[in-house]
Amino acid sequence: LDLSVDIAAKPAKTLPDAQTVTSVRHWTDRLFSFRVTRPASLRFRSGEFVMIGLPDDNGKPILRAYSIASPNWDEELEFYSIKVPDGPLTSRLQNIQPGDQIILRPKPVGTLVLDALLPGKRMWFLATGTGIAPFASLMRDPETYERYEQVVMMHTCRTADELAYGRELVENLRHDPLLGELYGEEFASRLLYYPTTTREESPLMGRITDNLTSGKVFADLNLPAMDAANDRAMICGSLAFNTDVKAVLEGFGLREGANSDPKEFVVEKAFVGDGI
């Protein structure tokens, strides 16, 4: 009996739920992004997260929640990650190279999905740090622009170099052939980008909460103030950020919704803990 054909067709996977890294890009000493193969059976809604990880020294998986940063039509999966110096997972994950394998549990979940919000005119994506990851997915999903006339991406980091991943993504989107074909030149006015820094001097500065409450972002983008009739929002950052932004949105009359009960905004943690 010759099994060699079968063996050649199905190479043994060294990890359960293994996927292969196809590219890695380091943005700063604290941030990197990478792409992996996508399991053929994996369906997800843009904005959802999965558990990914690596085995520890004893072969036991170290798994963490990660937002899928790529849109649901993409052949591969992209992730955008922090490097926590002593972090059980990211101290290892930051060393991955193309060809390496990671563990990916194919069970996507999450609240930052279009179905969790009522129809509206304008969608606000509000993120700090790696909290931009789910919006990197949603900004690249044509369905976002089918549902909303305008999308505003507010992203805040401590320093300007930490904005680079989001900045490049938005610039590439504005030249995206698919979206260009669908919306033409008008697309530039449909995806608005408002990057700010809190610790380093840059063209736009300040916390998202302050720029919303002062009205600066509305004035800068020539938009009316948020209201419950027109505006929808998704929030993704530290627990403190989420709590503060939630209060600001409620001040504008927006209510928190969920998959089972769509309203005007939804919230998800970008990580557990205080942040670094």
| Alpha carbons 94 and 97: distance in angstroms, whole number | 9
Minimum distance from CB of 50 to ligand FAD (Å)?
9
Minimum distance from CB of 269 to ligand FAD (Å)?
5
Minimum distance from CB of 87 to ligand FAD (Å)?
2
Q: Which is nearer to ligand FAD, 19 or 150 (CB)?
A: 19
Q: Which is nearer to ligand FAD, 133 or 245 (CB)?
A: 133
Q: Which is nearer to ligand FAD, 80 or 179 (CB)?
A: 80
Minimum distance from CB of 53 to ligand FAD (Å)?
8
Chain position whose Cβ is nearest to ligand FAD: 87
The 3-state secondary structure of 193-261 reads EEEEECCCCCCCECCHHHHHHCCHHHHHHCCCCCCCCCEEEEEEECHHHHHHHHHHHHHCCCCECECCE
Task: Return the ∠ at Cα 239 (arms to 235 and 244), rounded to 5°.
Answer: 65
Minimum distance from CB of 74 to ligand FAD (Å)?
15
- SS3 (DSSP) at 137: helix
Q: Which is nearer to ligand FAD, 148 or 165 (CB)?
A: 165
Q: Which is nearer to ligand FAD, 223 or 239 (CB)?
A: 239
Residue pointed to by tokens 């700090």: 128
Q: How far is CA 8 from the centre of its chain?
A: 37
Backbone φ and ψ of 84, nearest 5° = -90, 120
Binding site for ligand FAD (CB under 6 A): 49, 64-67, 80-82, 84, 87-91, 129-130, 133, 268-276
Minimum distance from CB of 102 to ligand FAD (Å)?
12
| Alpha carbons 8 and 180: distance in angstroms, whole number | 42
Q: Which is nearer to ligand FAD, 93 or 170 (CB)?
A: 93
Instruction: Say if CB 184 and CB 50 are below 8 A apart.
Output: no
